[in-house]
Amino acid sequence: MTADALARPVTAFARAVLEVAALDVHLPTEDGDVHAVRGVDFALEPGEVLAIVGESGSGKSITSLAILGLLPKTARVSGSVRFRGRELLGCQKGRCNTFVDGRSRWSSRTP
Ligand SMILES: Nc1ncnc2c1ncn2[C@@H]1O[C@H](COP(=O)(O)OP(=O)(O)OP(=O)(O)O)[C@@H](O)[C@H]1O
Ligand SMILES: [Mg+2]
């Protein structure tokens, strides 16, 4: 977690559907560690659409896979991914695969 994310007022994301904070991903490979995502922060409010744009290899797919909980088990993911206030990181492999809050539904499925 970066100092910037810690300093952010809680109210800044109060209406957000999806909140990503200080998202960091390391992928171990035979050739060493790949630091694929470094401190990504964003929040999406209802009705908002976000396009992630960047050069090839900049981490767009790994960011998305981390949010969806679809990275390889060897990946080291830190930070926070909240869907309607509920933390998804660290709880996607079991009981948090699916939940419904009355307005929206989260479902994490391996394609
Ligand atoms: N399974 C993996 N194991 C190790 N490193 C990976 C793996 N997948 C991607 N990477 C590395 O992670 C970094 C980010 O890759 P990512 O696929 O997220 O890029 P991208 O922005 O989606 O690129 P593109 O526009 O080409 O789709 C790159 O350095 C890539 O080589
Ligand atoms: Mg990609």
Percent of the chain with pLDDT over 70: 69
Residue of 60, 68, 73 best suited for mutating to test ligand 1, as the one with most atoms within 8 Å of CB: 60
CA distances from 25 to 13, 60, 72 (A): 22, 12, 11
Ligand 1: nearest atom to the Cα of 52: 21
How high is the pLDDT of residue 1? 43
Amino acid (1-letter code) at residue 92: Q
∠ CA 53-5-55, rounded to 5° = 15
Residue of 38, 52, 58 best suited for mutating to test ligand 1, as the one with most atoms within 8 Å of CB: 58
Tell me the pLDDT tens digit for each residue of 54-91: 999 999 999 999 998 889 999 999 999 998 888 989 87
Tell me how far apart the alpha carbons of residues 80 and 87 are, in angstroms, rounded to a whole number. Answer: 7
The CATH number of the domain covering residues in 3-107:
3.40.50.300
In this structure, the residue with its CA closest to atom 8 of ligand 1 is: 62
Ligand 1: nearest atom to the Cα of 34: 5
| Beta strand pairing call for 98-100 and 32-44 | unpaired
